[in-house]
Amino acid sequence: MIVNRTMKLLLAGAALTLTASAAVAQTNLRVFVSSQHRPDVWRKAFDMYEAKNPNVKVTIETGGNTSEAQAQYLNTVMTAKDSSLDVMILDVIRPAQYAAAGWTVPFNEVLGGDADAYMKRYLPAYAEANTVEGKVVALPAFADAMFLYYRKDLLEKHGIQPPQTWDELATAAKKVTESEKDTNLQGLSFQGKAIEGAVCTFLLPYWSMGKQLVSNGKLSFDKEAAVKSLKLWKDFVDQGVAKKNIAEVATDDTRKEFQAGNVLFAVNWSYAWGQFQGAESAVKDKVGVVKLPAVQGGQPASCLGGWEWGVSAYSNNKTEAQKFVQYLSSPETSEFMAINAALLPQFPDVYTDADVTKAVPWFASARPVVETAKARPVTPRYNEVSDIIRTTVNAVLAGQSTPEEGATQMEGRLRRVLR
């Protein structure tokens, strides 16, 4: 009887120790991936990591189909100091904000003394976007930039070269739409709705004139250039190059209209390419992609996009999470995501990798565009800056205010935010 009881106690004790040690060894990482960035393919990358690291289990959480929606969700989680997320994907405009708010942990300790060398492997813009005051606050997940998509077939038909300046684009658009006599065909589609994309809409010609919006954290607003930039887009509407309701058009509307064969030129991010070549696309194999035009006498400029991996400051598994992020931000994962999800690599070499160019041939020509893309203003109050720019662009395109009024309002509001 006594022996029996002792045995039971021993067994129970052993069982307890076993479960306890198992619980210590197993790390659960919860990763947030926005739903428009191929969570299905990321899942495969996570599986590969789990296979190599049996003690780590990765669960995926998706949500937020736009940068704004996703930021709203993450803002809520972070302000609540919620520990449920360990790793999160961030739009390139956010690492600086998150670091300023103390929501992410720097990687410097994990990377050791050679953090600089580690970051130098990436395209310079991403090394820069993820380093705040000498601290590596996030690691790049993939790159992106805005491109000019055009109908190769239609330009060839009319003997026109892809435009180098916005003026050339307007002339080409007028010529093609007039002779095609297709009432559904628009010359140019871009983002006029008050969304993040409209910030880029404003900045493209503004940057092309060699101007900066923020330098050293201070506003360096060039009103004349701002008026010109707003006027450039408004003129497209007034001349009939862009359609009258462009103020209603969001990023994916541009993609859909072009994909349906109703647009000659379109300004859009890299994700559109894969969709244009899809089975349901009316323009499959008829699409060309080049860098965006410049203003007359200016340099072409593109808006830097891309997404970064940050580790939550409230995570209970920070070290494991950082190791995992290093894997996610490695050349191997970049290559895997380029081939399987057509996400642009954050490493210069991966663009010309044989396997990558075989799967996505146009990546070779995408690299120079990404390399010359400019980052949107880096400031912890970026959300406000973004709101000011996008509502102004939207109001000007809708004819609600003139380019001059828009630029004046923009300057006044930006001054208040970036005091």
Partner 1 sequence: MATASETTLVTARNESGTKWWTRFLDPSERTLAMLLLLPAALLLALIIVYPVCRLVWTSFQNLSLTSGAPAAFAGLENYSLMLEDPVFWETTWNTVLITLITVPGALLVGLALALMANLPFKRKWPVRLSLLIPWALPLSFAGLIFAWFFHSEYGVVNDVLGRLGFEGVIWFNSANWAFAAICLTIIWKTSSFMALIILAGLQTIPRSLYEAADVDGAGRLRQFFEITLPLLKPSIVVALIFRTITALQTFDIPFTMTRGGPGTSTATLAMYIHQNTVDFLDLGYGSALAVFMFVLSMGVTAVYLRMIRAKG
- Nearest approach in angstroms of CB 29 to partner 1 is 25
DSSP secondary structure string for all residues of 186-205: EEEE---SSSHHHHHHHHHH
Query: How many distinct helices (H) and strands (E) make up the chain?
Result: 19, 13
Nearer to partner 1, 94 or 367 (CB): 94
- Nearest approach in angstroms of CB 248 to partner 1 is 6
User: Given the structure tokens 């064969």, which residue do they identify?
Assistant: 261
- Nearest approach in angstroms of CB 247 to partner 1 is 5
**Start-to-end C-alpha separation, the chain:** 81
Nearer to partner 1, 177 or 392 (CB): 392
- Binding residues (CB under 8 A) for partner 1: these are 68, 71-72, 75, 79, 97, 100-102, 193-194, 244-245, 247-248, 380-381, 383-384, 387, 391-392, 394-401, 409, 412-413, 416
Longest dimension (CA), the chain: 101
- Nearest approach in angstroms of CB 249 to partner 1 is 10
- Nearest approach in angstroms of CB 383 to partner 1 is 5
- Nearest approach in angstroms of CB 86 to partner 1 is 21
Nearer to partner 1, 38 or 193 (CB): 193
Neighbours of 133 (CB within 10 A): 9
**92 Cβ contact partners less than 8 Å away, ≥ 6 residues apart:** 126, 129, 144, 304, 305, 306, 307, 308, 375, 376
Would strands 263-269 and 139-151 be described as parallel, antiparallel, or unpaired?
antiparallel
Nearer to partner 1, 44 or 415 (CB): 415
- Distance (Å, whole) CA 308 – CA 119: 13
Nearer to partner 1, 365 or 409 (CB): 409
Structure tokens at 300: 């072409």
**27 Cβ contact partners less than 8 Å away, ≥ 6 residues apart:** 55, 56, 57, 317, 320
Nearer to partner 1, 97 or 346 (CB): 97
